[in-house]
């Protein structure tokens, strides 16, 4: 259910999209914006981003539906940080460092269902809440203060069907404050009751080069002529911000039919005339579509010029038949291929161009307002600008 404020926001965004398509225009920033090419290439800048952003602010670590029942767990490497994510019997979620207190070994691998983890190195046994329960051969090893040697917990928050964590233990953060009204919007989608279809993993360039591609539709005609561009108008966007997070509206080719709809009802037509990309700062993009919803989780590294992206796919309902299942698999493969071939392969070439030293700066146009906003927020969190940006 949307709040009155949300309805008003959606109505406004949809009306603007209808108007822009008619006028062949788009939402625009006041001016262009330059970012040093080096900021995508420089290792020190990248380390600073890791330390001040990825290790200090909340990031999405997974979808609630990945851990659909107690006992489920998922392991994940996030920018060099090994994570173990578990669902306990009481329904709560833990995000822990996947590192044994004995000599650091990963106690779990892959994903699955089990309530205890035996470390593969010397068989110390942990509960899925991270508690150390048994030390193999304790009589010879010597006594262990088990309570002090559990797995290290990270700050975690689960809401709106998404799992957020901070990658540094002990950091005090107000998750609700950080996500603000974006959480209301995500809650209204109801992801907490959705089904996890699976994921696809792809590799690409520097995480910001990859992320920039999710924040504008300026590239649709040239880069996605036979795919996205057939469904969606190129270079028409409406940007809406909640703190550093953004909702970016894109008009479908069929948006004209919404001209008949009363202005105060337009909010009901997401995916039936317009779509949204919801961009959670700093590295998550959520694209809701009727066929399947894609949650792109961009994980920087291992070097400045690389990122691994996990494309998570969720759907309103679990597939009922083999055909439904197959349709999901086909859709996931198709979206993976589009993002890999039409976005990430381009990103790798763009990165080569930047690295050639051809241009000291890259320049975002007025139409690339979402990118401008994203880079300004990065600068804010890196301590390079004092004021919080406004859209
Ligand atoms: S490293 Fe885990 S038991 Fe030794
Ligand atoms: Fe794209």
Give dist(CA 73, CA 67) in Å, integer: 6
Provide mean pLDDT across the span 271-298: 97
Q: How far is the CA of 83 from the centre of ligand 1 (A)?
A: 16
Give dist(CA 136, CA 21) in Å, integer: 67
200 lines ligand 1 (CB under 6 A): no
Predicted confidence band of residue 101 (pLDDT cuts 50, 70, 90): very high
DSSP collapsed to 3 states, 282-300? CCEEEECCCCCEEEEEEEE
Give dist(CA 176, CA 165) in Å, integer: 12
Q: How far is the CA of 345 from the centre of ligand 2 (A)?
A: 11
| pLDDT score for 108 | 98
pLDDT for 21 beyond 90: yes
In this structure, the residue with its CA closest to atom 4 of ligand 1 is: 122
Sign of the dihedral through C-alpha 14, 15, 16, 17: positive
Give dist(CA 116, CA 104) in Å, integer: 17
Domain 4-57+176-381, CATH number (from 3.90.380.10, 1.10.3720.10, 3.30.9.10, 3.20.20.70):
3.90.380.10
103 lines ligand 1 (CB under 6 A): yes
Q: Number of helices and strands (H, E) in the chain?
A: 12, 19
Kindly give the number of the ligand 1 atom that is closest to the alpha carbon of 105. Answer: 1
User: pLDDT (tens digit, 9 = 90+) per residue, 162-197?
Assistant: 999 999 999 999 999 999 999 999 999 999 999 999
| pLDDT score for 211 | 98
Kindly give the number of the ligand 1 atom that is closest to the alpha carbon of 103. Answer: 1
355 lines ligand 1 (CB under 6 A): no
User: pLDDT (tens digit, 9 = 90+) per residue, 190-233?
Assistant: 999 999 999 999 999 999 999 999 999 999 999 999 999 999 99
Residues written for the chain: 391
| pLDDT score for 1 | 87
Residue with structure tokens 């029942």?
69
- End-to-end Cα separation, the chain, in angstroms: 26
User: pLDDT (tens digit, 9 = 90+) per residue, 285-332?
Assistant: 999 999 999 999 999 999 999 999 999 999 999 999 999 999 999 999
Asked if 296 and 339 count as a contact pair (C-beta separation under 8 A), the reply is: yes
As a whole number, the mean pLDDT across the chain is 98
What 3-state DSSP class applies to 349? helix
122 lines ligand 1 (CB under 6 A): yes
119 lines ligand 1 (CB under 6 A): yes
- Domain(s) labelled CATH 2.102.10.10 in the chain stretch across 65-172
Mutation to probe ligand 1, out of 121, 125, 137 (largest number of atoms < 8 A from CB): 121
Predicted confidence band of residue 159 (pLDDT cuts 50, 70, 90): very high
99 lines ligand 1 (CB under 6 A): no
Q: At residue 346, what are phi and psi to the nearest 5 degrees?
A: -65, -40
Give dist(CA 150, CA 334) in Å, integer: 42
Kindly give the number of the ligand 1 atom that is closest to the alpha carbon of 100. Answer: 2
Mutation to probe ligand 1, out of 96, 106, 118, 122 (largest number of atoms < 8 A from CB): 122
Give dist(CA 388, CA 383) in Å, integer: 11
Asked if 105 and 99 count as a contact pair (C-beta separation under 8 A), the reply is: yes
Mutation to probe ligand 1, out of 84, 99, 105 (largest number of atoms < 8 A from CB): 105
Closest ligand to residue 338's CA: 2
Q: How far is the CA of 85 from the centre of ligand 1 (A)?
A: 19
Q: Residue 276 forms beta bridges with which residues? A: 249
What would the CATH number be for the domain defined by 65-172?
2.102.10.10
Largest CA distance in the chain: 79
Q: How far is the CA of 109 from the centre of ligand 1 (A)?
A: 14
């Amino acid at each position: 259910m949307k709040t009155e404020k949300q309805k008003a926001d959606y109505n406004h965004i949809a009306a603007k999209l209808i108007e822009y398509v008619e006028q062949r225009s788009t939402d625009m920033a006041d001016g262009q914006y330059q970012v040093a090419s080096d900021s995508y290439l420089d290792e020190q800048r990248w380390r600073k981003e890791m330390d001040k952003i990825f290790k200090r602010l909340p990031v999405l670590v997974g979808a609630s539906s990945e851990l659909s029942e107690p006992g489920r767990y998922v392991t994940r490497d996030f920018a060099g940080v090994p994570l173990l994510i578990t669902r306990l019997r009481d329904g709560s979620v833990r995000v822990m460092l996947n590192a044994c207190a004995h000599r650091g070994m990963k106690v779990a691998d892959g994903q699955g269902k089990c309530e205890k983890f035996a470390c593969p190195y010397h068989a110390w046994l942990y509960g899925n809440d991270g508690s150390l329960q048994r030390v193999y051969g304790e009589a010879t090893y010597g006594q262990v203060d088990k309570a002090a040697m559990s797995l290290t917990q990270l700050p975690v928050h689960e809401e709106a069907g998404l799992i957020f964590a901070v990658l540094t233990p002990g950091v005090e953060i107000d998750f609700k404050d950080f996500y603000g009204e974006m959480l209301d919007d995500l809650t209204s989608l109801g992801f907490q009751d959705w089904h996890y279809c699976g994921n696809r993993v792809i590799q690409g360039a520097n995480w910001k080069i990859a992320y920039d591609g999710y924040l504008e539709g300026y590239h649709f005609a040239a880069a996605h002529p036979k795919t996205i561009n057939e469904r969606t108008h190129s270079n028409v966007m409406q940007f809406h911000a909640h703190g550093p997070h953004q909702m970016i509206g894109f008009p479908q080719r069929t948006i004209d039919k919404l001209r008949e709809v009363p202005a105060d009802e337009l909010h009901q037509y997401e995916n039936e005339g317009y779509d949204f990309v919801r961009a959670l700062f700093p590295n998550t993009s959520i694209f809701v579509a009727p066929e399947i919803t894609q949650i792109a989780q961009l994980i920087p590294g291992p070097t400045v010029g690389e990122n691994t992206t996990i494309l998570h796919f969720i759907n309103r309902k679990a597939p009922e038949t083999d055909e439904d299942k197959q349709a999901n698999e086909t859709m996931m493969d198709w979206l993976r291929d589009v993002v890999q071939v039409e976005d990430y392969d381009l990103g790798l070439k763009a990165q080569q161009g930047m690295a050639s030293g051809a241009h000291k700066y890259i320049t975002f146009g007025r139409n690339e307002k979402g990118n401008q906003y994203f880079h300004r927020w990065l600068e804010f969190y890196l301590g390079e600008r004092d004021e919080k940006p406004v859209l």
